[in-house]
């Protein structure tokens, strides 16, 4: 009997990208974005024993040329040269590239961008060459960055770079975003193409970044290939599920994606420092589980998430869901 269910539902081959350096980067005192949460996630993944069921990779760092497949040359050059020490010489560029407030200059900024982008591009490569069915990069999902500017704690848009890599192999790619903030950088990048459909579920109305109206649906060849689901405060598991499943089910039926990129921002969880939704970890993970059930190659990314004790628990639980491995609620320490 169990052999039969294995034929019906084979364990997927999963690759997991992690660079131990990522937790050492620091946006600055009082800044809500803390890369350390990715190291905390990794520690849970290891201590629960989940790492034994995955291929673990430290991503090979991408070159500047790979980053300029989306971003402008002058923006990437700026990120390479700016440091806390030389900032005063680059006041005009700091304004032009929107670096300073939400997106501060900190030590090792460019290497940090290389690390998180490399995991997403590396994961896409694994899906392209069919050596993995699912690739995970919890350090990625920085969905606000634009072609020539930083935004919302994001400098380089690894989601876009991962999708561009997947488009080398897959005719149609679906991007799904369950971060509480609208996935504006990804939507904008693919707004005029019908090869990438973007679907974002987000808080809308006097909320960053202010885009993602239900009426925004793509342009030209991309018309109707951008789907926005604007939501109010307090979305709980049941209300979220009652919208997410039918919308995504219909999109997959009609668009027939050959690969999926899923941004799993954890700031949509209850009690987030910046968010105002009311999802439990299980409710958040239910979205991941549902998308996985279609058996389409998946690149799974992190994103927002600003309550430090919740984010690693969420992403570890979602790792277990992707592995079809039940884990205990008690932490493994």
Do 301 and 261 touch, CB atoms closer than 8 A?
Answer: yes
**Dihedrals φ, ψ of 57, to 5°?**
-125, 140
Catalytic residue among 71, 144, 181, 284: 144
Q: What is the DSSP letter of 2?
A: H
What lies within 8 Å, CB to CB, of 177 at 6+ separation is 143, 183, 186, 198, 199, 200, 201, 202, 262, 263, 265, 303
Q: Which two tokens stand for residue 232?
A: 């109010």
Q: How far apart are alpha carbons 302 and 295 in whole angstroms?
A: 20
Do 138 and 38 touch, CB atoms closer than 8 A?
Answer: yes
My answer on whether omega of the bond before 209 falls inside 30° of 0, hence cis, is yes
DSSP 144-209: T-BTTB-BTTBSS-HHHHHHHHHTTT-S-EEEEE-SSS--HHHHHHTTT-SSEEEEEEEE-SS-TT
HEC profile of 61-117 = CCCHHHHCCCCCHHHHHHHHHCCCCCHHHHHHHHHHCCCCCCCCCCCCHHHHHHHHH
Within 13 Å and on the Cβ side, how many CA atoms surround 252? 19
Helix (H, G, I), strand (E, B) or coil at 41: helix
**Dihedrals φ, ψ of 236, to 5°?**
-105, 180
Annotated active-site residue 143? The verdict is no
Do 262 and 159 touch, CB atoms closer than 8 A?
Answer: no
How many Å from the N-terminal Cα to the C-terminal Cα in the chain? 35
Tell me the catalytic residues: 144
């Amino acid at each position: 009997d169990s052999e039969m269910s294995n034929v019906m539902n084979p364990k997927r081959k999963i690759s997991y990208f992690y660079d131990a350096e990522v937790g050492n980067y620091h946006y600055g005192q009082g800044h809500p974005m803390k890369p350390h949460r990715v190291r905390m996630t990794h520690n849970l993944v290891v201590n629960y024993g989940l790492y034994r069921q995955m291929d673990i990779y430290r991503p090979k760092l991408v070159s500047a040329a790979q980053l300029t497949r989306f971003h402008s040359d002058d923006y990437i050059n700026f990120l390479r040269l700016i440091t806390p020490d030389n900032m005063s010489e680059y006041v005009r560029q700091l304004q032009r590239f929107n670096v300073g407030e939400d997106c501060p200059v900190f030590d090792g900024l460019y290497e940090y961008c290389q690390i998180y982008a490399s995991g997403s591009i590396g994961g896409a490569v694994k899906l392209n060459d069919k050596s993995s069915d699912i690739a995970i990069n919890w350090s990625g999902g920085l969905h606000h960055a634009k072609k020539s500017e930083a935004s919302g704690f994001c400098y380089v848009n690894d989601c876009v770079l991962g999708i561009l890599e997947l488009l080398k192999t897959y005719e149609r790619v679906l991007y799904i975003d369950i971060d509480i903030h609208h996935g504006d950088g990804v939507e904008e990048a693919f707004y005029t193409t019908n090869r990438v459909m973007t679907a974002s579920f987000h808080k809308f109305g006097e909320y960053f970044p202010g885009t993602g109206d239900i009426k925004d649906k793509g342009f030209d060849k991309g018309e109707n290939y951008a789907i926005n689901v604007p939501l109010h405060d307090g979305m709980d598991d049941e209300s979220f599920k009652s919208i997410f499943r039918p919308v995504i089910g219909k999109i997959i039926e009609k668009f027939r994606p050959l690969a999926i990129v899923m941004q799993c921002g954890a700031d949509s969880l209850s009690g987030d420092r910046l968010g105002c939704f009311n999802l439990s970890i299980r409710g958040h993970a239910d979205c991941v589980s549902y998308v996985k059930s279609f058996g389409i190659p998946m690149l799974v990314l992190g994103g927002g998430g600003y309550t430090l004790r919740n984010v690693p628990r969420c992403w570890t639980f979602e790792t277990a869901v992707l592995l079809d491995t039940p884990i205990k609620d008690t932490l493994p320490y």
